[in-house]
Amino acid sequence: MTFSATIIADSVSPNGHRLTTIEVTFPRIVLAEFNTHRVFSRNSASSRAIPVRKRISHVQQDPFIPDAWGAEQKGMQAEHDLNDADAEKARAIWRAATANAIESARALAELGAHKEYANRLLEPFMWQTVLVTATEWDNFFALRDSEMAQPEIHEAARLMRAAYNSSAPRFVDFGEWHLPLIQPDEYDGVFEFSEAARKVSSARCARVSYLTHDGTRDVGKDLDLFDRLYRPGHMSPFEHVATPNKYVGKLVQEDETSLGNPIYRWYPRFDGNLRGWKQYRKFFPHEANFGAR
């Protein structure tokens, strides 16, 4: 596995608001930094869900090992790298730590410890694939596609910006839907307008794949997964699915000029973290507080 960024769905509304879903793969060590961007809707595989043996196999076959080794100095950015000899020593230390984490995770699993603990030991050496949907990208690109960012998130952001800039969004009219991971052959003129399509897309976003864990496409299992997500209130996968919002904002008078003329400010309409689009989760009662059900 390596760094990658792929456009999964790219839509533009009648009001000109662009909504884009990107599948991005980067080292697990920068997931926390990635998740600080609150305008993003995102889902990725959980260490609590994947069996330890699978995680161990992934790390054994394809561990993350840093390419560059910045030298220690004050501040958050490394201006210089370790010399070649020390960089090779650093890689050897990292490989030894990887092997130790694998053996420790295996020992915990054999002891009967749950994967939500055993898998945590493997996280620094994992690659992570994330599905992210947003209307607002400029701030993320400015902060992360930057020499000041950690190299791993910088490379991910660079690839995401390139994918975003090279993609042409599909026009989605009022009453139509942005449906990540619904496959081209499933657009038959009926299904894409159905409630089932929204549920299937949401479930696939939770899984970060249109395939089941068995490697098959199964709409029935997608619908079952949707129900398992909805019943306890796990709504984040429903944020990737959205429909254009006719109401895009309002003008509010905030002040007056010295001559008494009004000064207005335009407040764009956001539903959740999307501008100009209404998320599927917003169609469900108590979506923001399932404790109120």
State yes or no: pLDDT of 159 exceeds 80. Answer: yes
Distance of CA 125 to the CA centre of its chain: 19
Position 213 scores a pLDDT of 74
Which carries the bigger pLDDT value, residue 17 or residue 288?
17
Strand 4-12 versus strand 170-171 pairing type: parallel
Q: Are 257 and 221 in contact (CB under 8 A)?
A: no
Question: Which pLDDT tens digit goes with each residue over 42-70?
Answer: 999 888 888 899 999 999 999 999 998 98
Q: What is the pLDDT of residue 248?
A: 78
Helices 219-230 and 195-207, axial angle in degrees (round to 10): 80
- In the predicted model, what is the mean pLDDT of residues 205-209? 93
Q: How many CB atoms lie within 10 A of CB 244?
A: 24
Nearest to 98 by CA among 48, 47, 59, 52: 59
pLDDT in tens, 89-118: 999 999 999 999 999 999 999 999 999 999
Fold category of 4-171 in CATH: Gyrase A; domain 2 (3.30.1360)
167 or 77, which is more confident? 167
Q: For position 79, what pLDDT does the model report?
A: 73
pLDDT in tens, 245-255: 988 777 778 77
- Mean of the per-residue pLDDT values for the chain? 93
Q: ∠264-269-271 over CA atoms, to 5°?
A: 160
Domain segments of the chain as ranges: 4-171, 242-292
Per-residue pLDDT, 174: 95
The pLDDT value given to residue 68: 87
Beta-bridge mates of residue 231: none
pLDDT over 80 (residue 268): no
Q: What is the mean pLDDT of residues 272-285?
A: 94
Secondary-structure percent of the chain, ordered helix, strand, coil, rounded to 5: 40, 20, 40
Buried b vs exposed e over 200-225: b needs ≥16 C-beta within 10 Å?
bbbbbbbbbbbebeeeeeeeebbeeb
Among candidate residues 141, 215, 219, the one with its CA nearest the CA of residue 179: 219
Q: Which carries the bigger pLDDT value, residue 155 or residue 213?
A: 155
Q: Calculate the CA 81 to chain-centre distance.
A: 30
Let me know: does 204 contact 222? Beta carbons within 8 Å. Answer: yes
pLDDT computed for residue 1 by the predictor: 81
**DSSP alpha helix (H) spans, the chain:** 31-34, 52-61, 84-111, 115-118, 138-144, 151-166, 195-207, 219-230
User: Is the overall model pTM greater than 0.85, yes or no?
Assistant: yes
Q: 53-89: b or e for each residue (b if 16 or more CB lie within 10 Å)?
A: eebbebbeeebbeeeebeeeeeeeeeeeebeeeebee
Continuous segment of H or E residues that includes residue 275: strand 274-275
CA distances, 285 to each of 107, 189, 201, 290 (Å): 44, 29, 20, 8
The pLDDT value given to residue 131: 97
Start-to-end Cα distance in the chain:
42
How far apart CA 45 and CA 147 sit, in angstroms, is 28
